[in-house]
Structure 1
Amino acid sequence: MQPIVHPVVGYVCYAVYARWADGTPPASSPAAVAVVAATLPDLLDQPLYHAGITPVGRTIGHSLLFAVPLVALVWLVARRRGQSRLAVAFAIGYGSHIAADVPWHVLAGDYHELGFLLWPVTPMPAYSGVKTLGTVGGLEVTTLWLEAVIFVGGVALWWADGRPGLDLLGRRFDL
């Protein structure tokens, strides 16, 4: 999945949870935490890859061997500080990133590219890029098409929810 789509997926997943748990759209702070957490795997892995430290762009941050202890640590710290909702938002955001990277490989039959899930125990080959999912009316349908739909739909939901989290930026930058 393209990096720009992950924060949107994180928001949508958390928004679904908030509606299920509270019957309302998400509050600003947990929504922001979910969005940031959903970007974290790429924020960890891409600099390592571009600096030549790791051979591919999906390694430690995308590995369940790192993600599970990280989420557990954040969960413990947040719970001790009475911020359980932020712990849930972090877990949903981070988990949504890893989960959203799986379907395209499965749909395309590129199961070997799922090595990131248990990296470094399992090898992670270079990402082969955009996946072709089929042809509709002579038009090639790729993962980018579906990601564009997810992105637009997620931004529309965030907008309809009152743009939670945006107010935090306004306060931070005195807008």
Structure 2
Amino acid sequence: MWPWGHLAVAYLLYTIYTHRRDGRRPRTGPLIVLTIGSQFPDLIDKPLAWSFGVLPAGRTFSHSVFVAALLLPTVALLAYRVDRPAIGPAFAIGQLSHLLSDIPPSVLLSQDFSATTFLFWPVLEPPAYHSPDSLLDGFLRYSMGWYEGVQLGLVLVALIVWYHDGTPGLGAVRRRLEYIGSTVAGD
């Protein structure tokens, strides 16, 4: 799945979580952490595999449930210690939704689970799939198929839900951009 698809899935799951658990819309701080969590496995694995050749594939180390089993409680503990408990679930939803949405749809249709071995790296070898020569190569070889169309549909649904939620986080981004603009302009 592409970054925007991961973010869309994470946002949709997180907004359901916050509405059901707290009866309110998502807030800015946890949304920032959710965004990071939704991209975290690829931010680690893709460069280490595609650009530096340290990992055997772009879905290994931080796509592993073993890393998640150590990382998620650590993030939750740190969030609790800095008195920001909402950050733990936000990161967990982002991270776990990333792992689950990287499972190819064909797994569900064919019940052939061999494409899920990346979740159990290094105990199991990751499935063989085309690895670009670099991050840039990965984006340059992007092609549009039915699966990418579904991802764009999810992005559209997530944008509608985000708008319905009152565009949480947008005000903080605007303020930050205004601050940067005034700093650059020398105001």
TM range (shorter): 0.7 to 0.9
Count of aligned positions = 164
**More helix per residue: 1 or 2?**
2
Give me the identity figure in percent. Answer: 36
Q: Which residue of structure 1 aligns with residue 39 of structure 2?
A: 39
Unaligned runs of 5+ in 2: 132-144, 182-187
**More strand per residue: 1 or 2?**
1
TM-score (structure 1 length as normaliser) = 0.84
- Hey, what's the Cα distance between the residues in 2 that align with 1:167 and 1:98? 30
Q: Which residue of structure 1 aligns with residue 153 of structure 2?
A: 149
Are 1:163 and 2:167 an aligned pair? yes
Unaligned runs of 5+ in 1: 130-140
| Matched AA of 2:68 | A
- Hey, what's the Cα distance between the residues in 1 that align with 2:82 and 2:106? 38
| Equivalence map 1:25-104=2 (5 Å) | 25-51=25-51, 52-102=53-103, 104=105
Q: Which residue of structure 1 aligns with residue 140 of structure 2?
A: none
- Hey, what's the Cα distance between the residues in 2 that align with 1:161 and 1:103? 30
SS of equivalent residue, structure 1 residue 162 = coil
8 A contact 2:26–2:168 mirrored in 1: yes
Structure number, greater radius of gyration: 2
8 A contact 1:32–1:164 mirrored in 2: no
- Hey, what's the Cα distance between the residues in 2 that align with 1:127 and 1:111? 15
Shift of 1:127: 2.9
1:67-122 CA deviation, whole Å, 9 max, x = no partner? 12111100111112221111111111111111112252413535212111111111
- Hey, what's the Cα distance between the residues in 2 that align with 1:24 and 1:82? 19
Q: Which residue of structure 1 aligns with residue 185 of structure 2?
A: none
8 A contact 1:38–1:97 mirrored in 2: yes
1:136-169 CA deviation, whole Å, 9 max, x = no partner? xxxxx83223222111101211122122122332
8 A contact 1:40–1:94 mirrored in 2: yes
| Matched AA of 1:150 | L
8 A contact 1:75–1:88 mirrored in 2: yes
8 A contact 1:78–1:86 mirrored in 2: yes
